[in-house]
Amino acid sequence: MVESVQVELDELYALSTAILTRSGFSGAHAAAISEMLSTCQIDDCQSHGLFRLLMCCQTMRGGKIDGHILPVVEASDSAIVRVDARGGMSLLAVEAGMPLLIEKTRSYGIAAMAINRCFHFSALWPEVEQLSAAGLAGLAMVPSHSWVAPAGGKRGTLGTNPLAFSWPRQNQTPFTFDFATSGFARGEIELYLRAGKPLPEGVAVDAEGNPTTDPQAALDGAMLTFGGYKGSALSIMIELMAGPLIDDLTSMESMAFAEGTGGAPYHGEIILAFDPDHFSGGRVADNDARAERLFADILDQGARLPSQRRFEARARNTARGYVEMPAALHAELTAMLD
């Protein structure tokens, strides 16, 4: 059993900010990253919480990221928002472009934001939940590094290529999902390695293309998509939508750009937003009720909605004022400030 420690909620943000600024990120970048990491940790999203500080610092040591550069939101009369991250982390670019994306979506009914030239490591659900909090439906996707073999293949060509969606609900938490199109997220495999646990069958192959449950062999080999050819096709779609469509890199190109330095992948991101008022012809209330009948029937069968556990964790941790995280990770992070 992994030993854990209790960490107060205020310490999450303070610890993250201190580590990031010492690593070389500006106050603005450190704040945006720390907000994301703290949010994920409070929701018990261990693979995308403070554990990701290790990747952020590794990215800075790699020497390719600019920890101080500010993003530029490009002027546009269309329903497309373009934000140039200029070689910085993605989160400040998303923060800069999100208000305009919401404004354009309410004007046009549908709008998209393309983030270019960014380093990306973070969960997507906090971004699409900004849209659902504004009463919009949101869809986001990114490539990564070519760590994942296509169905029928033996070497990494695709990224973990996550897809996130959030649907607004009145007076309650949204319907949200965020998952990698690989069988496991890369961060999950790293956590299995740290815990000394074998992987489930069917999520990775070793460097020779043979099935493996060894986390290190998986990291040295290739991950697999979920759902065989179906997951592989979705992953390829994300490569195209968040790569060539927006004039940015595929996962193979991102891996080549890194030149073995490690850290966060460098590529683009696309976020799509939809206004239910426009799409439903103003009949939002009637169609909210239709959606709620769908959710109710799912729950009536004893099934869960995506993110339900995460929302329960958020409520629990917020009420008690602390989270539990692995003691070894907390010790490793605090030692970074010595």
CATH number at residue 107: 3.30.1370.60
pLDDT, position 50: 97
Cα angle 305-311-317, degrees, rounded to a multiple of 5: 155
pLDDT, position 27: 98
- Other beta carbons less than 10 A from residue 115's beta carbon: 29
Residue 202 lies in a domain: no
Q: Tell me the DSSP string of 150-186.
A: PTT--S--B----EEEEE--TTS--EEEEE-SBSS-H
CB 295 within 8 A of CB 26: no
What is the token pair recorded at 5? 């420690």
> Quick one: CA dihedral 218, 220, 226, 228, positive or negative?
negative
pLDDT, position 10: 95
Count of domains forming the chain: 1
Residue 215 lies in a domain: no
Active-site residue 47, yes or no? Answer: yes
What is the token pair recorded at 237? 């779609």
Active-site residue 232, yes or no? Answer: no
Active-site residue 144, yes or no? Answer: no
pLDDT, position 176: 98
Residue 297 lies in a domain: no
CB-based burial, 139-157: b 16+ in 10 Å, e otherwise: bbbbbbbbbbbbbebeebb
CB 17 within 8 A of CB 30: yes
pLDDT, position 117: 98
CB-based burial, 286-323: b 16+ in 10 Å, e otherwise: eebeeeeeeeeeeeeeeeebebeebeebbeebeeeebb
Residue 110 lies in a domain: yes
What is the separation, in whole angstroms, between the first and last Cα of the chain? Answer: 28
Q: Which residues of the chain have pLDDT under 50?
A: none
Catalytic choice (188, 190, 239, 253): 188
**Over the stretch 74-125, which tens digit does the pLDDT of each residue have?**
999 999 999 999 999 999 999 999 999 999 999 999 999 999 999 999 999 9
Spell out the alpha helix ranges (H) of 242-283.
251-258, 276-279
Catalytic choice (48, 120, 145, 267): 48
For residue 178, give its domain range. 4-183+225-283+306-335
Residue 219 lies in a domain: no
How many residues are there in the chain?
Answer: 338
pLDDT, position 186: 82
Residue 179 lies in a domain: yes
Residue 59 lies in a domain: yes
Catalytic choice (47, 166, 182, 232): 47
Report the predicted TM-score, pTM, of the whole model to 2 decimal places: 0.94
Residue 326 lies in a domain: yes
